[in-house]
Amino acid sequence: MQPFLKWAGGKRWLFTSSFIEKLPPFRRYIEPFLGGGAGFFALQPNSAIISDINSDLIELYRLLRDEPEAMGLAMSEHQEKHSKEYYYSMRAALPSDPVGRAARTLYLNRTCWNGLYRLNRKGEFNVPIGTKNSIVIPGEDFGAISRILQKAEIHAQDFEKTIECAQEGDLLFVDPPYTVKHNINGFVKYNESIFSWSDQLRLRDALDSARRRGASIIVTNADHASVKELYSDLGALSSVSRSSVISGKSTGRATITELMVVI
């Protein structure tokens, strides 16, 4: 199943059938940087812990799990009302009810520029409108998404707390925001909070502890010398290629590499 969100740095490109076939057997899937959930939806595990620090994102996942019919109705209403003026009115709004907030999050994701999630220093979503007009996607089944999500624990929390749950027999897929050591060179600041180098160090230590507990781990990260050095004694390192799709112009989209660490 394809993710219902478009997410900057998403891993749809990675979870091919050939990649999935090479994964170690596992009883539980754990993902502490959920984002668009490409890995979760590709694998559809029978048991999972998925989490993100983004509370708006997690509320959306929970409402799709618990209230798929209400979410479908809310998205149909957004489809009927969609326009440039409506987009900016919804961007400025903050619904008081959970379904309204979750549907707003999904509506903005589907109609903003490149599906980017970005907050200003006041914590306000500030991405301009994009070119997409499809809010209700033909064939999309919120009921099926709900059934898959019902097999997962869904948490809004720091990555370290989620990784602490990993034990022998678990598969950890870890895809943090990409920062590097020297003044976070090359990092695109999507939000008001940056995943700092100290967070990278904290992540590495948390993964080392999970490894010692017997968990299988796959990490994707910036393909940069500082990150390679950080993981050099922890697992097998390789570079994987992908196309960058964040640029607004096709000329700015190029093939780049990311680091993969198998632990």
> Are residues 165 and 248 both part of a single domain?
yes
pLDDT at 151 over 60: yes
Q: What is the phi/psi pair of residue 256, to 5°?
A: -125, 170
CB 238 within 8 A of CB 198: no
Q: Of the ranges 88-102, 145-159, 180-194, which one carries the lowest mean pLDDT score?
A: 180-194
CB 184 within 8 A of CB 194: yes
Give which of 91, 95, 90, 78 is closest to 137, Cα–Cα.
78
The pLDDT tens digits for 163-191 are 999 999 999 999 998 766 654 444 444 44
CATH number of the domain at 194, please.
Answer: 3.40.50.150
Q: Give the whole-angstrom CA distance, residue 189 versus residue 178.
A: 10
> Are residues 163 and 119 both part of a single domain?
no
Q: Is residue 200 part of a domain?
A: yes
- What are the DSSP E strand ranges found in 61-135? none
Q: Give the whole-angstrom CA distance, residue 72 versus residue 147.
A: 15
- State which of 111, 144, 177 marks the end of a domain: 144
The pLDDT tens digits for 31-41 are 999 999 999 99
Model confidence, pTM? 0.89
Q: Of the ranges 80-94, 153-167, 245-259, which one carries the lowest mean pLDDT score?
A: 245-259
Instruction: Tally Cβ neighbours within 10 Å of residue 221.
Output: 24
The secondary structure element, H or E, covering residue 66 is helix 55-66
Q: Is residue 209 part of a domain?
A: yes
DSSP-assigned beta bridge partners for residue 220:
260
Residue 4 CA neighbour count, 13 Å, CB half = 29
- State which of 120, 144, 168 marks the end of a domain: 144
Q: Is residue 4 part of a domain?
A: no
- State which of 95, 116, 144 marks the end of a domain: 144
> Are residues 232 and 108 both part of a single domain?
no
> Are residues 256 and 163 both part of a single domain?
yes
> Are residues 178 and 118 both part of a single domain?
no
pLDDT at 171: 98
pLDDT at 194 over 80: no
Q: Is residue 136 part of a domain?
A: yes
The boundaries of the domain holding residue 123 are 63-144
> Are residues 132 and 182 both part of a single domain?
no
> Are residues 163 and 200 both part of a single domain?
yes
> Are residues 161 and 241 both part of a single domain?
yes
> Are residues 70 and 165 both part of a single domain?
no
- What are the DSSP E strand ranges found in the chain? 28-31, 48-52, 152-156, 170-174, 216-222, 236-243, 255-262
**How long is the chain?**
263
Q: Is residue 169 part of a domain?
A: yes
CATH number of the domain at 89, please.
Answer: 1.10.1020.10
Residue 73 DSSP symbol: H
Helix H segments across 166-220? 197-212
> Are residues 254 and 228 both part of a single domain?
yes
The structural domain count of the chain equals 2
